[in-house]
């Protein structure tokens, strides 16, 4: 099945005799689905299951085609215009591949990418511009910190960052002592921001790290539930000590 077949299916779904649900959708109504499909693709990639990845890529592609069909109906642009625009952009911003420039490292490529944006008239008032507000907070913090670090606004080494984390933890404990909710919230945010900095220093994406920890938590907690069920017990009736013992069992199984 070729790409045109998918476009034809989309057009039919939105046509006079198409699907009532598909015909009712707007750019705004589809936004949650775009985000959901993107995260389902990430989950599929982390599962290392080619069939699942293939399926989720298709679902995300459908959302792109859906948006292009809506634009076509408004006589704004169609999928061909989108493909042409990204093709031109990629060619322009990779002169080391399609032209005569030379880039030997990925850092040089990033510098060149930003320089090309300036030539295209996309000069930013701030280097922090262009990081979407809709990104998950951990990922947005990571991207913003990378931008700032790119111009030298950064610690010299991870030890300095760890000292700053200790400082933030101390301020958080003091905020708890005085029971000032707004201050507690502010200091907790500072700790999370510093943890993102530490993840950046170690070359680890904080969103990926937290997602893996969540999966680990779910697996271990389900083990506790399963063991409790096998014993005919309810979690609400178990002591924390009993649940901790099962948690330790689950940890041992992970290793």
In a domain, 131, yes or no: no
Domain extent for 112: 93-123
Rounded Cα gap, residues 155 and 157, in angstroms: 6
The first and second tokens of residue 18, run together, are 């198409």
The first and second tokens of residue 111, run together, are 């510098």
Global pTM exceeds 0.95: no
Rounded Cα gap, residues 252 and 255, in angstroms: 5
Q: State whether 31 and 103 are in the same domain.
A: no
Query: 38-52, 114-128, 134-148, 156-170 — which is least confidently predicted?
Result: 114-128
- The CATH number assigned to the domain holding 141 equals 1.10.287.1080
In a domain, 130, yes or no: no
Host H or E run for residue 227:
helix 206-230
In a domain, 38, yes or no: yes
The CA dihedral of 69, 73, 76, 81, to the nearest 10 degrees, is 40
Residue 123 clears pLDDT 80, i.e. is over it: no
Which of 169, 185, 204 is where one domain is finished? 204
The first and second tokens of residue 98, run together, are 């399609």
In a domain, 128, yes or no: no
pLDDT value at position 120? 72
Rounded Cα gap, residues 176 and 185, in angstroms: 10
In a domain, 129, yes or no: no
Q: State whether 24 and 40 are in the same domain.
A: yes
Q: State whether 97 and 81 are in the same domain.
A: no
pLDDT value at position 1? 64
Residue 95 clears pLDDT 90, i.e. is over it: no
Residue 99: which pLDDT band, with cuts at 50, 70 and 90?
A: confident
Q: State whether 15 and 74 are in the same domain.
A: yes
Residue 122: which pLDDT band, with cuts at 50, 70 and 90?
A: low
Closest to 211 (Cα-Cα) out of 49, 45, 60: 45
Q: Work out the mean pLDDT of the chain and round it to a whole number.
A: 91
pLDDT digits (tens, 9 = 90+) for 17-36: 999 999 999 999 999 999 99
How many domains does one find in the chain? Answer: 4
Integer angstrom CA distances of residue 64 from 4, 57, 78, 123, 136? 14, 11, 11, 27, 21
Residue 104: which pLDDT band, with cuts at 50, 70 and 90?
A: confident
Strands of 94-228 (E only): list them.
Answer: none
Rounded Cα gap, residues 242 and 36, in angstroms: 37
In a domain, 111, yes or no: yes
Residues contacting residue 147 through CB under 8 Å, at least 6 positions apart: 127, 128, 131
Instruction: State whether residue 52 is helix, strand or coil.
Output: helix
Q: State whether 172 and 234 are in the same domain.
A: no
Q: State whether 178 and 247 are in the same domain.
A: no
Share of the chain above pLDDT 90, in %: 73
Higher per-residue pLDDT: 203 or 104: 203
Give the best-scoring range by mean pLDDT among 127-141, 164-178, 201-215.
164-178
pLDDT value at position 150? 83
In a domain, 103, yes or no: yes
In a domain, 236, yes or no: yes
């Amino acid at each position: 099945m070729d790409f045109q077949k998918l476009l034809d299916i989309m057009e039919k779904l939105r046509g006079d005799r198409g699907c009532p649900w598909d015909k009712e959708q707007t750019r705004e109504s589809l936004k949650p689905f775009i985000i959901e499909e993107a995260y389902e693709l990430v989950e599929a990639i982390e599962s290392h299951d080619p069939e699942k990845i293939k399926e989720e890529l298709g679902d995300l592609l459908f959302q792109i085609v859906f948006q292009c069909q809506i634009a076509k109906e408004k006589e704004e642009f169609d999928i061909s215009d989108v493909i042409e625009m990204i093709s031109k952009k990629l060619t322009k911003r990779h002169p080391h591949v399609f032209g005569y420039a030379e880039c030997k490292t990925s850092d040089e490529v990033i510098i060149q990418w930003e320089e090309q944006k300036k030539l295209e008239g996309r000069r930013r008032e701030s280097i922090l511009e262009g990081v979407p507000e809709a990104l998950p907070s951990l990922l947005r913090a990571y991207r913003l910190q990378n931008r700032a670090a790119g111009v030298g606004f950064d610690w010299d080494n991870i030890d300095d960052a760890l000292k700053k984390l200790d400082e933030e933890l101390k301020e958080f404990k003091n905020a708890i002592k005085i029971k000032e909710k707004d201050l507690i919230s502010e200091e907790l945010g500072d700790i999370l921001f510093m943890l993102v900095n530490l993840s950046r220093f170690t070359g680890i994406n904080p969103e990926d790290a937290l997602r893996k920890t969540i999966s680990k938590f779910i697996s271990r907690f389900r083990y506790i539930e399963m063991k409790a069920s096998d014993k005919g017990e309810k979690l609400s009736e178990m002591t924390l000590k009993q649940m901790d013992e099962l948690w330790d069992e689950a940890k041992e199984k992970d290793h």
